[in-house]
Every structure is written in C-alpha cells, then in structure tokens.
Structure 1
C-alpha cells in the first residue's frame, strides 16, 4: 500500500477565487501573443485569425477533457496523476517530468528575455545580472506563500488583461471608422494578394506555432487544488477558456489585419505596436514593451509555481526524491522551488555561454514536449471516463462533449500536428529533440525500476492513486518509501 507522508508536509488552500479567476484570464497572455503573432500573420495573411480560432478550439477541447477529470478528482498533480491512474506509473512519471522540463526551461528562457528587455533600457546592466535578479525576485515571491504567488499573478494578469482590452477597444473604434479620422474599410484584407495569398494550407500549418502561444491555460487546474473549492474553480476556469481565446487572440488578430497591411508586418516585431502606430497612439512601443515585461514576469512566477508543485506531487508518488515533499509552516514546498530555480540559473548561464547551441537545444526540445503532454491528457480522459462511469456515474458532473467521438478526433488532431512538425523542416528539430527527451526519461525510469527499489503496486480504491487533499494533512497512499 505504500507509506504515509509526514502530516506536516502538506499544501495549504491559500488561493482565493479571484486569484484563480485572474490566473485563468491572464495566464494565456504572453509574449507569444504580443510578439509571436507577427510570424503567424506574415505566414497566413489576412485570415490568420482563423488559425487562432482553429487552435483555440483544439485547446478548448483538451481543457474540457482535463476539466472533466480535474472536477471529478481534483489533484495537485493534475494531468500527471490522471496519466498514472489511466496507464500506470511510467505514464505518470514521464508526463510529470516532461511537463516539469518544459516549465523549468521556460523559466530560464523568460528570465533571459526579461534581462534583454531591461538591458535595452539600461545598457550599463549586463543581461545575465538582470536575469539573475529577476529569478531571485520571483523566487522570493513564491517562497513567501501560495497566497503571495496568487496575489502577484493577480496583478500581473490584471495588467495584461487591461492592456488587451484597451487595445481591442481602441483598435475596434479605428477599424470600424468610429475613431477620429478613420473610416471603415476592408482593403487591407482583400488587397495585397487576397484573403489567402499563400493558399488554404497556411491556415493549418500555423497551428504548430500558435498552440505554443496558448500554453498556460492548464496551470489553473494545478493551482485549483490549493483553493477552498477546487472542483468549482476548475469548472469556472474551463468554461471561460473559449471566451478568453476568442477575445485575446482571435479578435485582436482580426483587428490588426484590418488596420495594418499583413505583408508589412515583420516577424519578430510586435504587430500590436504597428497597429497602435497606425492608429496614432503616442508612446505605444514603450508602453507595449512594459506590458511584455509584465508578461515575462508573470510566466516566471507561474512557471516556478507549477514546476515546484509538480516536484511535490512526484516526490509524494515516489517519482522524485521524497524530500521534495517537505513544506514549511506556510505550506510552501521550499526545497522544490529552490530545485527549480537551480535549473533556471543554469539556463541563464547556458544562454550567456552558448546562446546558439546548448540553450537553443533546450528551447527547441521544449516545444514538442508540450504537445506530448496534451496527447497524454487526451488518451487519459478516453480511458478514465469509461472507468469512472462504471465505478461511480455521479462523479462526472462536468463532462467532455460527444464522448468518445470528439476526444478521439482531438487526439487525432494532436497527432496530426506532431506529424506535420516532422514533415516541416523548420519544426523537425523540435519534434526529434522532444522525442529524445522522452527517450531519456524512459531510460531513467527503467534504470530506477531495475536498481532503485521502486514499488509496482499503486492500485488503491480501484484507481492507481488517490488524489492529494490540499486543504488537510497530505496522505499519499501508493507511494514508494524509497527515494528516487
């Protein structure tokens, strides 16, 4: 049956509903939207907003599947626990470490991006020193309490949401001729090669890039386990996904291509700045750079939180050293947070020493990793839905639509995106490096199983594990007594 963890090693429900609401609203807004959208617009043309709509629909369905499982059995480990419930220890082990790898690399990357932005404003400060300072600040925020994380993310997300709403309001007035000196015209969409200048296929090829700009929507299902009413918070967050994606991605991109000729947008340069310059808003570039910096700090904050909570869960499950489950009197997994920052500091050093080799490898490998996680969410829901309905039909109050047809179609779509990455030369390296990371984790798992005295018996109460209660002492049946 496993061992019972120290009752003092428990997370505490320090997140309020307003924290989770703003986390779910602003978590998806980052540099991928503010700057990355330039690549999609320049590639797909005037109908680039359709690419965002297609990708948003895919993300919505994945989140609905995750929400179904999370509302039925809220777990701090979220989809890593559901993968374990559905397919056993290896599935939970690999999914957990893949997702952890993704976030710690992103933390290091965002620290460097923040350092570069501030360096542009204050050239006397080296990038590595600024990145180090940002890491230390966000580490201290996470170390205080889960409430401190939630409060910081509340304000970070709030600034991002206000910025997007203000942009949509101003751009909407201009695009539809209500702004002084503006007139309603669709010339920028119909001229310059038409609606589909490079063919219909470009709308779907862009999904490979766009899906990574929407990462972060799933974090709320992990954070909800540290709230007073996790199931309610999860349902509310998942239900709002479609509105967030519609407003933040689809509408803003549509307005940009109405205001600015799509073929004048330069990949790597923010199309939001180009649109605001066309509208005539003074100081738009500096204002947007400040918002992007807030977005970077937000990702740093949530990345440290997510990665440390995963280490906590994996330590409790026997997939990471058990000292990762140690918490202080505020319910903060201090050692887990510090472990994640070590990787972040390493990424900062690698980016300074090997900007075009090692660090680039880490970033490329993290791309496909996220799609692997989405794939595991889909196949876990397909198995657990059937199992849970037999065991306790009433547990599924929040359901995925058109089961099993729609979940199967979503799974096939994710596989198609992965295959397209292998077929496209510019994305092939990301797929192969992601596969290499998964193979490395598989080898580590097999070595641990052979030499590490890892228990193979995780079956408790008809499932492979039981959820971790966030609001009480943490009991973790089914974990191994041996450290990883």
Structure 2
C-alpha cells in the first residue's frame, strides 16, 4: 500500500502573497546600500542599473509564475529543476537555496543585535539575537496564516516609509522643505550623471541584484496560497510596477539631494543607520528624529528578512524530503500543516551559524560568503527550468491556451535572465581577479564550486541525465484533488 503523502495546508491569502513578494525585495538593500550604488555609478548609472535589473527580475518572475500556476508546490525551484532539467540539478538547487536562507537567518539575527545597539549600546548583543530567533520560530510554528499576516504588516511598514520618504524628498528638491531647493544640479555635478562608465554600472548590477533577492519567494508561497492561479500572477504584475516605481524614484531622490561624491553615501552596513541615505534625506528636510525612525524601519526590515528566510528554507527542506533529496522526517507536517521537523532543523543550523560569530569569526565569515551568490544561482536555475518547460510543453503538442498564465516575451525573458545572472555571478569581484587575490576570490565565489560539487555528486551517484524534451512531465497539478487529501 502506498504511503500517504503529507501536505502543507493552504492558508496564504492573495494580499499575503502580493505583500510577501514585495516585502521580500524591499530591505536594507534599498534603505542602506542604495547610497553606495549612487556613489559608484553616479545618478544615471545607478538608475540604469536598477531599471535593467528590475526588468530582468520581472522576466524571471513571469517565468516562475508560468511554472508556479501550472504546478504550485512549496520549494518550487528544486521541483521544477528536477522535473524539467535534471534530478541532479534539482538536488543542487534545493540544497543551495536551503543553505542560502538558513545562513541568511543567522546573518539577520546578528544584524538585529547591531541595530538594537543604536538604542541600547550597553546590553549584550546575544540577548537581542536570541529574542529575535525565538519570535521568528514562534511565528513560523503557529500556522502559515500567522507568517503571512506578520509579513503583510511588516512589509506595509516598509512601503509606507518609502511613500513618506518620496514625499519628503520631492518637497526638499523643490525647496518647500529643508530651506533651499536642490533641483537637479547634482545630476550634472562633476562626472555625473554617469560615473566610472560601464564598469560602474556592472558593479551596481551586483548591489541591485542583492536588493531584489527575495522576489522569488512568490514561487514558494504558491504551494500554500489559497488560489495560486489568481494570486501568483496578480502578485507578479503588482510587484514589478511597485519595484520599478519605488527603486527608481527613491534613487532619483537620493541622487538629487546628495551629491555622488558625498562620503555619507559610502555606508553599506545595515547597522550604520546614521549614514543611511534615507536618514540623510530626512535630516536635510529638518526632521530631527530621522535616525531613530529609520532605525526602527531597518529593524523591521531585518526581522522581516529573517522571518521570510525561515519560511523559505523550511519549505525548501520539506520539498526536498518529498523529492527524496532529504530524510523523510523533514517531509512530515503537524496538525496545523507546518513541517515542524524541517523548521526545527533550519532553526538549529541558523543558531549554530550564529554561535560561530562568537567562537569562530573566520568560520562565520566563510559561511556568510558561501551563501552570497546562492540567490543568483537560484535565479539561473529558475530561468533554465522555465526555458526547458516551455520548449517541452510546445514540443509535446500543447498550446499556450492550456496554461493559466503566460510568461512575458518568451524566450527573450529566460535568455536575458540566464545571461545577466552569469554576468553578475562572475562580475561579483572583478577587482580580485585583476589583483590576483586568490583568497578573496575563494571567499567570494565559494558557493559556485559547492553547487557544482552537489550537482555532479548526485549525478554520478544516481546516474541521472538531462531529461529529453519529449519525456518531461508538463502536466498541471490538480489542486482540487490535492486539497481533499
């Protein structure tokens, strides 16, 4: 008799899915690191880089949306790579993504302590980190709706902050706030609008890519969305326009008010709220409490990122157990539909990684570096999986009318994503290659050989192969039957 398959419960509403996808890509990358982007590439270079990366991410999301509405499953990237490319790739993608987010949770709870030190500099850092991890674990063990509701409100705080920032920023540019009009003079200041030419723009691609990472969470939420056929496409279209609007206008305001030569723009640490470009703009407008307010918003962003990371890594581990890539224990769910064993395992790894920051700082830095490029590797896997899915779908005699959602401009979209992901991955630290700094190269690119080792280890052990297009299973999921189980 076949073993009964355990399913996570669907409980994410449409508003949850939209806000999770939006909140996933609005964080310290925008609130802090955007200043460094303007400094390195100038106002024009930063805007070009973020818009191009935003367009690429949109194509990526439509690719993911086409697959996620056809087959909505938790831990989608691993499943799609397994079904549409090669089981070895699914194995490598799954462990790569789980590792990425498990380490990110550790990084974020460490950052919580740094952010809290702004208000409480004399209290031990571990207290805040331990408290943050406990809160995040509790949210994720309760129910998927608890996670969705928490993310909705934390993401809403970030969105409201951006609206206020844009309003204050434009009033400052016009001289209504801050005493004098800055106008657009900083766009033609010295070497502006384009600084350092093409290399400057490419360097910002990396920053922009990290800023946008998290949008792919919409693919994982599809497995627990109440109506993925409607909520996923809606989230993708809403998120694209909001991302372009928020990032483009926010960077425009920063570049107009703060000259690219300002040393204040060099800050790229989430802990240094005093040199967040948002804080600087608020101060220029005469808002005295700017630093405290932005510190609270950044704290919300960091906790939101850790919360999303815990959810994403837990669902990926659950999915891998379902595929046979991880122990079966991690594929079991409790009465509330939560993969509790997978959640506990992820929490333990995050906690152990966090502890290495005290007992072995070098080990901690290596782990953080190893997770650095895994998000781009996941994007590469999504694009490749979709390219092969659509080709197999058409080759097997299907028509696009059979799909619930169509990706935009196929095959341009996935091909552009594949090319840009390769550019970003290998352009991550060009300076290290130029200087022959092999230790720096090893630190930066360690995730690439790790994924290659995972891929070939599984391939040679299980004798897998690239699945021929006419053998790929492109059949859609029957959600009605699944929900009855």
Q: What does residue range 437-448 of structure 1 map to in structure 2 within 5 Å? A: 437-442=450-455, 445=458
Q: Is the 8 A contact 2:373 2:425 kept in 1?
A: yes
Distance change >3 Å, CA 378–CA 417, structure 1 → 2: same
Q: What does residue range 394-413 of structure 1 map to in structure 2 within 5 Å? A: 394-413=401-420
1:436: which partner in 2?
Answer: 449
Distance change >3 Å, CA 56–CA 231, structure 1 → 2: same
Q: Is the 8 A contact 2:182 2:257 kept in 1?
A: no
Distance change >3 Å, CA 470–CA 88, structure 1 → 2: farther
Task: Say yes or no: does 1:358 pair with 2:376.
Answer: no
1:479: which partner in 2?
Answer: none
2:192: which partner in 1?
Answer: 194
DSSP 3-state at the match of 2:10: coil
DSSP 3-state at the match of 1:263: coil
Mapped to 1, the partners of 2:155 and 2:445 lie a distance apart of: 34
Q: 1:383 aligns with which of 388, 409, 433?
A: 388
1:463: which partner in 2?
Answer: 473
Task: Say yes or no: does 1:209 pair with 2:207.
Answer: yes
Q: How does the TM-score come out when normalised to structure 2? A: 0.89
2:437: which partner in 1?
Answer: none
Distance change >3 Å, CA 105–CA 467, structure 1 → 2: farther
Mapped to 2, the partners of 1:470 and 1:90 lie a distance apart of: 30
2:436: which partner in 1?
Answer: none
Mapped to 2, the partners of 1:257 and 1:86 lie a distance apart of: 43
Q: Is the 8 A contact 1:81 1:465 kept in 2?
A: no
Alpha-carbon deviation of 1:471?
8.1
Measured against aligned partners, the alpha-carbon deviations of 1:130-156 in whole angstroms (never above 9, x if no partner) come to 212211111011000001111111111
Q: Is the 8 A contact 1:6 1:474 kept in 2?
A: no
Q: What does residue range 2-41 of structure 1 map to in structure 2 within 5 Å? A: 4-7=2-5, 9-41=6-38
Task: Say yes or no: does 1:262 pair with 2:260.
Answer: yes
Q: What does residue range 17-416 of structure 1 map to in structure 2 within 5 Å? A: 17-47=14-44, 48-179=46-177, 181-183=179-181, 185-264=183-262, 265-268=265-268, 269-355=275-361, 357-389=362-394, 390-393=396-399, 394-416=401-423
Gaps of 5+ in 1: 476-484
Alpha-carbon deviation of 1:35?
1.0
DSSP 3-state at the match of 2:249: helix
DSSP 3-state at the match of 2:20: helix
Give the total of aligned pairs: 468
1:480: which partner in 2?
Answer: none
2:271: which partner in 1?
Answer: none
Mapped to 2, the partners of 1:279 and 1:194 lie a distance apart of: 23
Two-structure CA RMSD over aligned residues (Å): 2.8
Mapped to 2, the partners of 1:303 and 1:146 lie a distance apart of: 14
Measured against aligned partners, the alpha-carbon deviations of 1:391-417 in whole angstroms (never above 9, x if no partner) come to 532332422233224432332222222
Measured against aligned partners, the alpha-carbon deviations of 1:430-484 in whole angstroms (never above 9, x if no partner) come to 553012321442365358649xxx9x99x99951897595984698xxxxxxxxx
Stretch of structure 1 that moved more, 326-335 or 423-432? 423-432
Gaps of 5+ in 2: 269-274, 434-439
Distance change >3 Å, CA 312–CA 460, structure 1 → 2: farther
Mapped to 1, the partners of 2:414 and 2:42 lie a distance apart of: 30
Q: How does the TM-score come out when normalised to structure 1? A: 0.90
DSSP 3-state at the match of 1:331: coil
Mapped to 1, the partners of 2:470 and 2:414 lie a distance apart of: 27
Alpha-carbon deviation of 1:252?
0.2
